[in-house]
Amino acid sequence: MKDVELNKVDLEKQQMKEKNGCVKVTVQEDTGAKLTCLSKDELMKIAGTAGWIRARWILLVLFWLGWVGMLAGAVVIILQAPRCKPIPEMNWWNKGLLYQISDVNAFSDKGLKGVEEKLDYLKQMKVKGLVLGPIHTVQADQLNTLKLTSIKPEVGTENELETLLDQAHKKGISVVLDLTPNYESVSAWFNNTASVAEKLKEACVYWLNKGFNGISLSDLGDIAKTSTWPSIQDIINKTNVTEKTALIGSVTGLPVHDISVLLNHSGVDLLLTGLPDLGKSGETQALSIQELYSMHPQTRLGWSLSGRTLGCLASRTPAVPVRLFQTLLFTLPGTPVFNAGDEVGLKTGEKLKAMWDLESPADEANATAKTLQEERIALRDFFKALSDLRGKERALLHGEFVLLYSSPSALAFLRLWDQSERFLIAINWGYAAVNMTLTNSDLPAKAQVCVTTNAENLAVDSMVSLKTLELGAKQAVLLSYPYAG
């Protein structure tokens, strides 16, 4: 039987056998040695030898040296990396433009209700604050008719005003009330400022409790000299504990030194000065801006060249394209303030209804009206682009102001902030082209055009040389370049 079994094994060891079309493959037996594992005791015995102990210590030391090295490298990188400059404290009126609606009925024939309906439009323009009125009852130069806590009936009702305030706050728009007493006359304070100041105290308490975010006053120099002024400041400062209430003043025709003294003495949160005056030379404007900027925080500087007493930008003398004014006001260090209609270039006396007519198709048969509508829509888009740029770029929001160039009819300056994008603004309001020689260690060889008033001369997104910048007559340009480190 043993021999029979051996014969069967020999047959299975045949390498290949073909039978009836089938192939058999045989696998040779593994004649190699079998692996045997070490027991636990044997492993512990080997691990305790001097060679393995030394190897483990070497690996442990290398691990900790590598870990400490990486930690030290991270610390060195952090220490050597440039530190970000802390963001300065800013209030709501520093974060966007202020929009003045002096004549509510001219802005909308629905009065306060009409202003409420246009809040979405103001939000599209990136308006941060609305300066409303004056809307109180008074007859020109008649002090006995002054009622600072009552609304003119033709403007609207107090309920409509409260609804307007509520809806504006929901859309992120703060509202400031202009309480200039004798606003329908040349003398804002009836030539009796001390008497009016007492009435103003009561009115400030009344309207701030209604939900207004601030009070605005014209001819600030007059009331700031009265003994009542400190108590008015206290009322403004103590009214709202969650968000700071703004005390805004305005003056016109004062030299820079007097403006600086008034800023220090009055303690207002924002002062509108009527500067810069492009009727004067660029050198004079440069000195005025530089002096105000160097002596006061830019959070207190307001730039307004239009309004109830100044008229519209498009009607200023000398005549300058509205785009130049818009570029200048949006890029100066401080808060830009515009009058209703400035965004589309309306002139003084022209009805504000023309703004809302832009949404309706123009008469194709009237080529002049169609061209005017297209120009105003383009100007509004230009305004919106500048407003949007200022709201999101740190250099334009709170960056440093560096004067680069000034001439009788031109001005150029930088806005810089830490490691953010840099902006160069150049404006020529003269009737002839100007070549600007710009010198500053921060300037690169070229910069990119962001916004321009003349795309034929300087196209948007094109690169221009900064060695000598040429601007055409009545032209402004806003250039940008990255932080180089």
Instruction: Set out the domains of the chain in order of their start, with CATH numbers.
Output: 92-392 (3.20.20.80), 400-481 (2.60.40.1180)
User: What are 440-478's pLDDT values in tens digits?
Assistant: 989 999 999 999 999 888 999 999 999 889 999 999 999
| Structural contact between residues 258 and 387, judged by C-beta atoms closer than 8 angstroms | no
DSSP bridge partners of 356: none
Q: State how far the Cα of 267 lies from the Cα of 265, in Å rounded to an integer.
A: 6
Q: In Å, how far are 38, 44, 45, 64, 144 from 41, measured between CA atoms?
A: 8, 5, 6, 30, 110
The contacts of residue 385 (CB under 8 Å, 6+ apart) are: 451
Q: In Å, how far are 219, 266, 273, 296 from 233, measured between CA atoms?
A: 16, 9, 20, 19
Q: What is the pLDDT of residue 181?
A: 96
Torsion of CA 37, 39, 40, 42, to 10 degrees: -100
What is the β-pairing status of strands 410-416 and 446-452? unpaired
Q: State how far the Cα of 164 lies from the Cα of 170, in Å rounded to an integer.
A: 10
In this prediction, residues 152-162 reach a mean pLDDT of 96
What is the β-pairing status of strands 301-304 and 270-272? parallel
pTM for the predicted model, two decimal places: 0.83
At residue 24 the predicted structure's pLDDT band, cuts being 50, 70 and 90, is low
At residue 18 the predicted structure's pLDDT band, cuts being 50, 70 and 90, is very low
Q: What is the pLDDT of residue 430?
A: 92
Q: State how far the Cα of 131 lies from the Cα of 290, in Å rounded to an integer.
A: 27
Better pLDDT: 8 or 101: 101
| Structural contact between residues 207 and 161, judged by C-beta atoms closer than 8 angstroms | no
Q: State how far the Cα of 478 lies from the Cα of 482, in Å rounded to an integer.
A: 14
How many residues in the chain? 485
Nearest alpha carbon to residue 275 among 212, 332, 201, 194: 332
Give Dmax over CA atoms of the chain in angstroms: 142
pLDDT tops 70 at residue 17: no
User: What are 106-150's pLDDT values in tens digits?
Assistant: 999 999 999 999 999 999 999 999 999 999 999 999 999 999 999
At residue 348 the predicted structure's pLDDT band, cuts being 50, 70 and 90, is confident
User: What are 399-446's pLDDT values in tens digits?
Assistant: 999 999 999 999 999 999 999 999 999 999 999 999 999 999 899 999
Radius of gyration of the chain (CA): 38
Q: In Å, how far are 4, 421, 423, 436 from 479, measured between CA atoms?
A: 102, 10, 6, 14
Q: What is the pLDDT of residue 42?
A: 78
Determine the straight-line distance between the first and last CA of the chain, rounded to whole angstroms.
Answer: 95
User: What are 318-330's pLDDT values in tens digits?
Assistant: 788 999 999 999 9
User: What are 183-197's pLDDT values in tens digits?
Assistant: 999 899 998 888 899
In this prediction, residues 142-171 reach a mean pLDDT of 96
Q: Token match 């001005």: residue?
A: 411
pLDDT tops 50 at residue 379: yes
| Structural contact between residues 470 and 430, judged by C-beta atoms closer than 8 angstroms | no
Report cis status (omega within 30 of 0) of the bond before 276.
Answer: yes
What is the β-pairing status of strands 127-132 and 214-218? unpaired
Exposed/middle/buried for residue 403 (C-beta within 10 Å: 0-12, 13-18, 19+): middle
> Could you tell me the two tokens for 448?
């990119």
The contacts of residue 38 (CB under 8 Å, 6+ apart) are: 46
User: What are 218-268's pLDDT values in tens digits?
Assistant: 999 999 999 999 999 999 988 765 678 999 999 998 999 999 999 999 999
pLDDT tops 60 at residue 26: no
